[in-house]
Chains A and B, each alone.
Chain A
Amino acid sequence: MEDESHNNILPNGFNTGSTESPCLKTSTMTTQHNNNNNHQNHSNKEQDRFLPIANVGRIMKKVIPPNGKISKDAKETVQECVSEFISFVTGEASDKCQREKRKTINGDDVIWAITTLGFEDYVEPLKTYLQKYKEIEGEKLNIPKQLRSEQRLHQHQQNHNNNHDENNNQPFNGAYASSNLISQPPYVPTDQKFSLPFSPNSIQNQLRQQEQIDSVGHWYE
């Protein structure tokens, strides 16, 4: 096992050795850039140079035993190493884009650079990760449509409440709504007429009329 691993590492080591000069150049450039940043606004630039130490610490804890501890200087060193890793890979990807006369560094360029620099083991997890991310993004775009459907259902329920009837078919609902609109104007006057007989004055008048009729009938006999 170890021998195989060693054999696998040898070619990578050779490749890494051949790129040692560019690596040193990158490091030098990074150092100069860092010096410039230090000369400027220190707090903001300091934050921008590294990934958040909390995120880095959380990832580190995942791979050590629960009873293990991580000193702060170790976390800070890893922060610096990660930034160097990003710059190292980005530089390689950027060189490839320049050779191919392209201006935008895309995902494939990053994966190619990671492979070239000896991190082949990362490629498969990266592709899986990207695939899952795309699936979730696709699902996210479907959310507005679902919300629209829910709104339609809500409106449908409102129509049901207004009509006081069981709504089975949309055409039926439409027809009923139409008839409802037609019947509305005459319905109001009907209510007004219908309420008149129930007033006390109306009732008394009717009773008196009945009495008169009885008198007339009796006289006729």
Chain B
Amino acid sequence: MRQAGAYSGLLCGGVSGRTGPHSLPLARIKKIMKNSGEDVKMISGEAPIIFSKACELFIEELTRRSWIMAIQGKRRTLHKEDLASAVIATDIFDFLITLVSSSESHAVGGATNVMEVETIDCS
């Protein structure tokens, strides 16, 4: 898969030549796809390209909804708790509830995690 670095400005302005016109590295996306399950055998060249845009849209939506949570808390810095709130409040993000509530996350927040778990149990 060759990346058209010369045309990076046409699709995504300001993106470094390293990822060409895409804002995310295709090789890394392909590796994550392969690691998603042993039944994933072969991946066409188009799939990582589509994912690079899909992940961008996903990040934008998740960040936008999280920012709303931060604003409601009268803060101007986005924190992990805002992401957890956005995930809980959005149906299509249900598959992330376990992830944002997991104690394995980088940040240590026992109390917050417990509260989140309780919230999940209530709903």
Contacts and interface: CB of A to CB of B under 8 A. Distances in A.
Contact of A132 (B11, B23, B24, B51): B11
A51 B30 CA distance: 11
Contacts of A71: 77-80
A105 B37 CA distance: 13
B31 A94 contact: no
Contacts of B54: 85, 89, 110, 114, 119, 122, 126
B36 A105 contact: no
26 contacts: A17-B94, A51-B24, A59-B63, A67-B76, A68-B67, A68-B70, A68-B77, A68-B78, A71-B77, A76-B80, A77-B83, A78-B63, A84-B96, A85-B54, A89-B51, A94-B36, A104-B44, A106-B46, A110-B46, A122-B54, A122-B57, A126-B53, A129-B11, A129-B49, A132-B10, A136-B7
B4 A140 contact: yes
Contact of A81 (B24, B37, B49, B100): B100
Interface in B29-46: 29, 31-33, 35-37, 39-44, 46
A184 B91 CA distance: 87
Interface string A90-112: 11011100100001111101110
Nearest to B107: A73
Contact of B92 (A56, A119, A129): A119
Which 4 A-B residue pairings sit nearest by Cβ, starting from the closest?
A: A107-B46, A87-B36, A13-B91, A118-B92
Nearest to A47: B28
A126 to B, nearest CB: 5
A126 B57 CA distance: 9
Contact residues on B (Cβ < 8 Å of other chain), bracket: 35 or more
Interface stretch (A22-30, A166-174, A191-199, A213-221): A22-30
B93 to A, nearest CB: 8
A117 B117 CA distance: 24
Contacts of B102: 31
A140 to B, nearest CB: 5
A182 interface: no
Contacts of B62: 78, 81
Contact of B58 (A12, A82, A91, A107): A82
A74 B78 contact: yes
Interface of B: 2, 4, 6-7, 10-11, 19, 21, 23-25, 28-29, 31-33, 35-37, 39-44, 46-47, 49-51, 53-60, 62-64, 66-67, 70, 76-80, 82-84, 87, 91-96, 98-100, 102, 104-107
- A16, A49, A81, most chain B CB atoms within 10 A: A81
B95 A23 contact: yes
Interface string A17-46: 100100110110111011000000000000
A188 interface: no
A147 to B, nearest CB: 13
B49 A48 contact: no
A81 B96 CA distance: 7
